[in-house]
Amino acid sequence: MCHMEKADFSLKARHKKKIWFAAVCILLIFVVLVVQMSYIMVFCSEYYLARADDLHERERSIKASRGRILDANGVVLASNKTVCTISVIHSQIKDPERVIKILCEELGLTDEEVRKRVEKVTSIERIKTNVDRDVGDRIRNYALEGVKVDEDYKRYYPYGSLASKVIGFTGSDNQGIVGLEVKYDSWLSGDSGKILTLTDSRGVELEGMQENRKEPVAGMDVTLSIDYNIQMYAQQLANKALEEKQAKTVSIIVMNPQNGEIMAMVNAPEYDLNNPYELNFEPETVVTGQAYQDLLNGMWRNKCINDTYEPGSTFKMITATAALETGAVTLDSQYYCPGYKIVEDRRIRCARTTGHGAQDFTHTVMNSCNPAFIEWGLRVGVDNYFDYMGKLGILEKTGIDLPGEASTIMHKKENVGQVELATMSFGQSFQITPMQLLRAASAIINGGTLVTPHFAVKASDAEGNNVKIFEYETKENAIKKETSDTMKGILEKVVSEGGGKNAYIEGFSIGGKTATSQKLPRGNGKYISSFIGFAPVDNPQVIAMCIIDEPVGVYYGGTIAAPVVRQLFENILPYMGIEKSVQS
């Protein structure tokens, strides 16, 4: 009996311990839950409120107005046009067939294109962007449930093809694609805003609830050194030369040689910036796919910086400068041209097959005598020649503020023998960009400062406050000022008395150099005609270059390219305030 009572007592004690243990566990769990809830409610409240809002808010972006691109005088070269973006919200559509029918009619889309998006189960589906505002307003007036019409911006170029291969264009989401539009995209793009709409758990917008908006921040305006009037006139001249000479392309660059500001850059034929995916010519056959894209890429190329060429006789400015700088020649140095020069096993002829006879250094430049320049180049020597090409920026990119700048195609120094140096001396057997040559020529005439060619001058906000003044590297003392002064005097005689006389303008002091280079392979009958001119000679304020690629008929640079620069200067020198300084 006693034994049974003890067993009973032991059993009750064990049950009691279990109950207490279970109670303590439950209490501990409860305490942990309370602590956890308190932590969430006090320390994590903002995070979970935001998560809750995300679950019950639908977000639609508002594009920022892209900054304008302005010319040097404030003329708007790129601006924005108000358009609309049409979207659908699947959960709110009550009459899908009516929505599909109206959107097809108004947007010019197929039933298949619209139906695919309308029936897609997503929070929001974009139907079409860059819709004209009038069309957007009509769709809005239908009051279609589940259809959203948001105002948007589309890039607009008031002057169509003006400086198209410099300015570039934007994509469907207003980001820069090519040209200055992509180079300065971070300044122009701005920050997009948002529209936040409250919805229920099914994604249906709650009636009577106010939309929350985060307003977009407009992009900065970027002011260029391009002058609309100079660009427009240069483009007219290039188009005229393109037509008259039936050329492949015509390029013109106008720059301030003192600081590298580019006033105009033309690559004719240009294309329509408002329709950049339409070819500016009619293909001989139907072209689609990658072949069509290749044609577009070619149309968008800026030949002044993206392509290289053999400069020909305009490069003799570099050879003459190096010869004077190194003391290889003086103004009194004489050379007799019999019409050719033999270098090792090569007989290299002069453009004047009968020869120029006896001539001093100045007249070898005026006559653009190949045998003389071979002699000057050989006297300079390989090491010095490469040294001065480096000093004048020929061996490096210019650093211009446009994407896709090409590099020099040059012999390796260790591979340059007498023949290679001879051909280099008159601008053959290597390739550079037009911009590289114009930069070097600027250093030769501005006193010896190597500038960085550029377009962007400043970025400013909507109120016109300057946010950024763009600065560019310069390298002084590339050559001596005395050499620069001597070269300016010689190049003035090239225009007043030599091969560049078709660039002469009575009353103005103008210097320059012509070139006619035969394209590879030699003997194919294709040439590049060019001329570089500057004014006024004493203190050059403008330097210009015209390149005519594959002209038909007469192809000499002094005959067809120099007159283009003359016509350009006749108009822009007075416009720039450069007065006549030479007695008639």
Q: What is the pLDDT of residue 196?
A: 65
**DSSP strands (E only) in 370-479:** 456-460, 466-469
Distance CA 477, CA 498 (A): 29
368 is catalytic: no
Return the number of other C-beta atoms located less than 10 Å from residue 13's C-beta: 10
- In the predicted structure, residue 15 carries a pLDDT above the cut 50: yes
- In the predicted structure, residue 104 carries a pLDDT above the cut 70: yes
Q: What is the pLDDT of residue 522?
A: 87
Return all residues near 118 (Cβ < 8 A) that are at least 6 apart: 88, 90, 93, 96, 99, 100, 103, 125, 127
Q: What is the dihedral of CA 178, 179, 185, 190, to 10 degrees?
A: -100
**DSSP strands (E only) in 93-177:** 125-132, 147-156
SS3 581: coil
Q: What is the pLDDT of residue 26?
A: 81
**DSSP strands (E only) in 43-198:** 57-62, 69-70, 76-88, 125-132, 147-156, 193-198
Helices (H), 361-417: 361-367, 370-380, 382-391
> Model confidence at 54, in pLDDT bands (50, 70, 90)?
very low
Return all residues near 314 (Cβ < 8 A) that are at least 6 apart: 427, 437, 441, 513, 514, 515, 530, 531, 532, 557
Q: Which numeric CATH code is attached to 58-224?
A: 3.90.1310.10
Domains 58-224 and 312-575 share a fold: no
Distance CA 38, CA 472 (A): 59
The answer to whether 184 touches 166, Cβ cutoff 8 Å, is no
- pLDDT tens digits, 512-568: 999 999 998 888 999 999 999 999 999 999 999 999 999 999 999 999 999 999 999
Q: What is the pLDDT of residue 405?
A: 98
Distance CA 468, CA 56 (A): 41
Class for the domain spanning 312-575: alpha beta
Q: In which region does residue 32 sit, left (phi positive, over 0), alpha (psi from -120 to 50) or beta (all else)?
A: alpha
Nearest to 318 by CA among 500, 504, 442, 495: 442
- In the predicted structure, residue 288 carries a pLDDT above the cut 70: yes
Question: The whole model's pTM is what?
Answer: 0.86
Distance CA 109, CA 116 (A): 11
Catalytic position from the list 313, 368, 460, 517? 313
Given the DSSP bridges, would you call strands 511-518 and 193-198 parallel, antiparallel or unpaired? unpaired
- pLDDT tens digits, 299-349: 999 999 999 999 999 999 999 999 999 999 999 999 999 999 999 999 999
86, burial (CB in 10 Å: exposed 0-12, middle 13-18, buried 19+): buried
The answer to whether 154 touches 81, Cβ cutoff 8 Å, is yes
Q: What is the mean pLDDT of residues 410-427?
A: 97
Q: In which region does residue 424 sit, left (phi positive, over 0), alpha (psi from -120 to 50) or beta (all else)?
A: alpha
Distance CA 514, CA 314 (A): 6
Q: What single-letter amino acid sits at 181?
A: E
* CA-CA-CA-CA torsion sign (47, 53, 55, 58): negative
Q: What is the mean pLDDT of residues 437-456?
A: 98
Given the DSSP bridges, would you call strands 527-535 and 249-255 parallel, antiparallel or unpaired? unpaired
Q: What is the pLDDT of residue 19?
A: 76
Q: What is the mean pLDDT of residues 51-72?
A: 72
- pLDDT tens digits, 187-238: 999 888 776 666 555 555 555 555 667 778 889 999 999 999 999 999 999 9
Give the chain's length.
Answer: 584
Return the number of other C-beta atoms located less than 10 Å from residue 340's C-beta: 15
Q: What single-letter amino acid sits at 61?
A: S
- pLDDT tens digits, 229-282: 999 999 999 999 999 999 999 999 999 999 999 999 999 999 999 999 999 999
Distance CA 171, CA 246 (A): 33
Average pLDDT, the chain: 91
Return all residues near 14 (Cβ < 8 A) that are at least 6 apart: none
Return all residues near 257 (Cβ < 8 A) that are at least 6 apart: 441, 442, 445, 446, 451, 534, 540, 541, 542, 543
Return the number of other C-beta atoms located less than 10 Å from residue 295's C-beta: 15
Residue boundaries of the structural domains of the chain: 58-224, 312-575
| DSSP tag of 519 | P
Return all residues near 294 (Cβ < 8 A) that are at least 6 apart: none
Residue 427 or residue 130, greater confidence: 427
The H-or-E segment that residue 49 falls in is helix 45-55
Given the DSSP bridges, would you call strands 212-214 and 69-70 parallel, antiparallel or unpaired? unpaired
Distance CA 100, CA 119 (A): 10
**Inter-CA distances, 275 with 157, 174, 180, 347, 402, Å:** 10, 14, 17, 52, 21
